[in-house]
């Protein structure tokens, strides 16, 4: 007897792994939890054993008195209040309504941001490209008129170079615009992702803030000791070997504090990257289910986000932990390299500086490549359930086999989205600054208050736009890998996505003996998407109507896709 066939339309022959996800990379998940537990334990110990005299380390007159080293006094620092340019309490009372309006408008701008790229991706992309050429050109002309010929010509040259680069890459820019449009459609069809990412950011804040508190609390474990730099003491004046005035006292943390602070900083960095991996994983898993689902199965896709969350927090938590650990190590090495370069610059050795600059350039390229592979490995793992290293190896081979234009996906979408987010946010910030100045012009310091309000409004809007941009970029990555997997299996699941990548010659879809359709050998004109005019007219299909692009359980319904 033949085994019963699976009738679940979401399982079928989908490239997304819905079942049989085994726990992978488990030691890395356990290691992260150990780091988190030890950081918590050290923080609790630091709070319990803190030196309650620590605030006096910030009192200049106390630290300047050598009698207080190491004797713990009780004097309080007296500070003369400096006049404020802006009365902040009054400002925030007056600006409360403005800030509330700005928060609401920022959210509205985020929705507008998404709608623009959903319905007019090419126009939005073109506008951002033009702005990136027009801005330095305008600054160049302004600099010329101000009499700075050298600076003006440099800015104009930069604008011309940018215009030439964008012209040479015009095909990739068009590809980017269409891909962003597909990503915006994917986000529109999976709005639960927005809620998920917001909730994950709130959880991240509640995890990171206590670690910040533990870092500060650990530093309060110590004593006030004589300043090691002082060599002369005369009354309340202490001087170093060069005769410069220095504080007589200094704060000395206990011996366990520096190692703990380094350990807790690594844990905090690991946690931040872990949540970034979680975001990429959940977005990729949800979008993959949407991508590979057959037309008409949209109702069955309900709960796809929660399904991916269960995978992320369950069998593949170790995968996310390992990916975040890789990114953490790279960040630590970057910081160490920057510190080494700074020390070399201070030493003034020109030859050593050149060597270090060349080394830094090579290492940055290597680290950037590892980060790039890590991102796509996480996307692949979210789709297939593979372990991190296996997913990294397979996704590298996948992209290599298909010779896909990964550089366009890597560079242009972030460039376009970040510029668009900045432009929208800056426009709103300038607008609210101008309106508030008109309302407050009769008050003292009205200009400074309006400028501060404009800056706050800009940052509020920018945070929201950056949030939507990050989600869209993750969707772009997920769609890109789904397309690559589709192409690797000679299938067409989402014809609108294949239409975006239609300039990559992959051959036409042909009917197989079993009735399915897949990619055949490339023809003269390359792959022709269903909406192409030549496809509608017969084109390279030999005058016959173009076949329906599909594979078992996955078909394209032009009436169901935008």
Q: Tokens standing for 444?
A: 């003292």
Average pLDDT of the residues in 188-198: 83
Type and span of the H or E element at 510: strand 509-511
- Least reliable range by pLDDT among 22-26, 123-127, 506-510: 506-510
Is pLDDT above 80 for 7? Answer: no
More confident call, 290 vs 353: 290
Average pLDDT of the residues in 282-290: 91
Query: What phi, psi does 423 have (nearest 5°)?
Result: -65, -45
Average pLDDT of the residues in 243-247: 80
Q: What is the DSSP letter of 492?
A: -
Q: Which residues pair with 251 in a beta bridge?
A: 224
- pLDDT tens figures, 317-363: 999 999 999 999 999 999 888 888 777 777 666 777 777 788 888 88
Is pLDDT above 50 for 294? Answer: yes
pLDDT of 503: 47
pTM beyond 0.75: the answer is: no
Cα–Cα distance list, 245 to 58, 64, 80, 236 (Å): 17, 10, 21, 11
- pLDDT tens figures, 100-143: 887 777 778 777 777 777 777 778 787 888 887 888 888 888 88
User: Please, are residues 179 and 12 in contact by the beta-carbon 8 Å criterion?
Assistant: no
pLDDT of 450: 82
Is pLDDT above 50 for 537? Answer: no
Question: For residues 164 and 157, what is the distance between their CA atoms, to the nearest angstrom?
Answer: 10
Q: What is the DSSP string of 361-395?
A: HHHHHHHHHHHHHHHHHHHHHHHH---HHHHHHHH
Burial of 158 (0-12, 13-18, 19+ CB in 10 A): middle
Place of tokens 């590892």: 370
More confident call, 23 vs 67: 23
- pLDDT tens figures, 438-473: 887 777 777 877 888 888 888 888 888 888 888 888
The average confidence (pLDDT) of the chain is 75
Place of tokens 């997997």: 485
User: Please, are residues 106 and 460 in contact by the beta-carbon 8 Å criterion?
Assistant: yes
Of all residues in the chain, the percent with pLDDT exceeding 70 is: 77
User: Please, are residues 192 and 132 in contact by the beta-carbon 8 Å criterion?
Assistant: no
Average pLDDT of the residues in 540-556: 36
H-helix segments, 170-253:
170-189, 192-219
pLDDT of 383: 92
The DSSP bridge pattern shows strands 550-551 and 554-555 to be antiparallel
CA-based nearest residue to 413, from 176, 67, 108, 157: 176
User: Please, are residues 324 and 31 in contact by the beta-carbon 8 Å criterion?
Assistant: no
More confident call, 142 vs 552: 142
> Cα torsion for 172, 174, 180, 181, to the nearest 10°?
-150
pLDDT of 275: 93
């Amino acid at each position: 007897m033949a085994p019963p066939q699976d009738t679940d339309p979401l399982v079928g022959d989908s490239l997304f792994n819905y079942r049989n996800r085994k726990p992978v990379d488990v030691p890395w998940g356990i290691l992260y939890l150990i780091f988190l537990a030890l950081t918590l334990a050290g923080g609790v110990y630091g709070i319990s054993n803190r030196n309650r005299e620590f605030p006096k380390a910030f009192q200049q007159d106390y630290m300047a008195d050598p009698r207080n080293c190491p004797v713990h006094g009780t004097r309080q620092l007296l500070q003369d209040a400096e006049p404020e340019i802006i009365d902040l309490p009054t400002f925030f009372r007056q600006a409360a309504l403005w800030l509330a309006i700005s928060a609401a408008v920022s959210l509205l701008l985020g929705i507008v941001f998404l709608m623009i790229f959903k319905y007019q991706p090419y126009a939005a992309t073109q506008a951002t490209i033009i702005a990136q050429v027009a801005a330095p050109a305008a600054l160049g002309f302004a600099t010329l008129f101000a009499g700075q010929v050298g600076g003006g010509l440099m800015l104009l040259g930069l604008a011309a170079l940018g215009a030439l680069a964008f012209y040479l890459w015009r095909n990739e820019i068009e590809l980017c615009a269409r891909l962003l449009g597909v990503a915006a459609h994917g986000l529109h069809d999976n709005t639960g992702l927005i809620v998920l990412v917001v909730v994950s950011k709130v959880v991240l804040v509640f995890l990171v803030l206590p670690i910040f508190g533990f870092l500060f609390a650990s530093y309060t474990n110590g004593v006030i000791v004589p300043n090691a730099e002082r060599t002369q003491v005369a009354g309340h004046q202490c001087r170093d070997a060069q005769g410069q005035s220095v504080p007589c006292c200094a704060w000395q943390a206990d011996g366990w504090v520096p190692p703990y602070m380094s350990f807790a900083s690594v844990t905090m960095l690991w946690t931040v990257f872990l949540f970034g991996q979680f975001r990429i994983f959940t977005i990729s898993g949800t979008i993959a289910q949407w991508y590979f689902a057959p037309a008409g199965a949209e109702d069955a896709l309900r709960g796809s986000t929660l399904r991916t969350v269960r995978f992320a927090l369950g069998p593949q938590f170790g995968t996310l932990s390992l990916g975040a650990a890789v990114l953490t190590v790279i960040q630590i090495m970057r910081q160490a390299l920057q510190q080494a370069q700074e020390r070399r610059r201070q030493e003034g050795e020109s030859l050593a500086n050149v060597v270090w600059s060349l080394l830094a350039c090579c290492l940055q390229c290597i680290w950037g490549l590892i980060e790039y592979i890590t991102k796509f490995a996480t996307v692949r793992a979210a789709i297939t359930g593979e372990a991190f290293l296996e997913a990294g190896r397979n996704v590298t081979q996948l992209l290599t086999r298909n010779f896909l234009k990964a550089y366009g996906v890597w560079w242009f979408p972030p460039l376009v989205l970040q510029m668009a987010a900045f432009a929208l946010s800056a426009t709103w910030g300038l607008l609210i600054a101008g309106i508030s100045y008109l309302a407050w012009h009769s008050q003292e310091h009205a200009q400074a208050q309006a400028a501060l309000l404009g800056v706050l409004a800009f940052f509020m809007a920018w945070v929201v736009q950056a949030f939507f941009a990050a989600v869209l970029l993750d969707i772009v990555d997920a769609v890109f890998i789904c397309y690559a997997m589709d192409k690797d299996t000679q299938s067409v699941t989402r014809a609108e996505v294949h239409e975006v990548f239609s300039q990559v010659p992959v051959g036409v879809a042909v009917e197989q003996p079993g009735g399915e359709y897949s990619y055949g050998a490339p023809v003269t004109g390359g792959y022709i998407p269903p909406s192409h005019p030549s496809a509608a007219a017969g084109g390279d299909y030999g005058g016959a109507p173009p076949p329906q692009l599909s594979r078992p359980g996955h078909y394209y319904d032009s009436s169901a896709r935008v």
